[in-house]
Chains A and B, each alone.
Chain A
Amino acid sequence: MKSIAELEEIRRKTLDEINMRKNKDGIRIVVGMATCGIAAGARPVMNAFLEELKKRNISNVNVVMTGCIGVCRLEPIVEVINPDGEKVTYVKMTPEKAARIVAEHIVNGRVCTEYTIGAAEK
């Protein structure tokens, strides 16, 4: 049975690492979460990003959601924005693709070209 008291323990455990990283200039992952995105399965995709980042212990990446990005037929859409503002748009996302993007793009800095909007619109 889970209880609120467990939060105290999490607090103690995580306090040290929190102080270590207060850098705001990480990569941002933006998931489109309007009606179109949700219906197409954006929530599992966003969750896959969170899980994968947690698994790899990556902490300088922010996963956030936004409204409709504007190309509903390509939802779920995810934008990966690096600290200097360069943006890569991935379309028709799945949780599996999300895991690969974390491994290749976020960790190794190689864009997964075949999932991008450019490749989908050819």
Chain B
Amino acid sequence: MRDLSLHLMDIIQNSITAKASRIYITFDADKSMDILKMTVADNGTGMDEELVKRVMDPFVTSRDTRKVGLGIPLLAASCERSSGSLSIDSAKGNGTVLMASFKLSHIDRPPLGDISETIATVVSSNPEVEVEFKLTSPNGSFEFSTEEIKQKLGEVPITHYEVLAWIKEYLNEGVKITFGGVLDEIYS
């Protein structure tokens, strides 16, 4: 995976497969601690203790088309490459919380990537899932919630082109203001 937004998309897919109706995503850039933290929390079916232990193994997957599942191992590799770590907290029936951390200034830390495209794509094909997104950095914070948007929209579906285009621009602006552009990422 080239950047965090692609990893994020992959992890969100797991949540959707686990029948989550609510997904809460946060990015937290802490310059003083030099850590970038990504969390994805959902209210899906969750995993039992035994599966949580095995899920980092690339030869564990819930699907039946193949014997390998690389989503989580790839993210774990990205974390470890940039002296971070990945942890997963889950209980059957209680949803899952995934936390990935990276050293913010590490040369191998994947860039944030196009977060707005990831979220817009997820929203457009899973309109019934509520997505909450929060980005925090020393420059401030930015929040986004599909619930709020749906309330404003009323009977207009969130999957309408105009709405999706707006979501994308809104997210892009928010990410740019709070996280800065590419240069900010490099000099952070």
Contact = CB atoms under 8 A, between A and B. Distances in A.
Contacts of B149: 4, 7
A47 B121 contact: yes
B116 to A, nearest CB: 11
A67 B17 contact: yes
A37 B146 CA distance: 25
B9 A43 contact: yes
Contact of B156 (A15, A43, A68): A15
Given A18-B155, A39-B1, A39-B6, A72 B66 contact: yes
A70 interface: yes
A47 B160 contact: no
Interface residues of A, number: 34
Given A35-B71, A43-B117, A14 B9 contact: no
Contacts of A70: 65-66
Residues of B contacting A: mostly: helix
Contacts of B173: 1-2
Nearest to A68: B65
Nearest to B62: A67
Interface in B20-77: 63, 65-66, 69-71, 74
B178 to A, nearest CB: 13
A6 interface: yes
Contacts of B121: 33, 43, 46-47, 65
A4 B152 contact: yes
Interface string A89-114: 00000000000000000000000000
A63 interface: yes
A24 interface: no
Interface string A60-89: 000111011110100000000000000000
A46 B13 CA distance: 15
B105 interface: no
Contacts of A65: 13, 121, 125-126
A35 B163 contact: no
B162 A10 contact: yes
Contacts of A11: 152-154, 156
B25 to A, nearest CB: 16
Contacts of B71: 34-35
A4 B152 CA distance: 8
A8 interface: yes
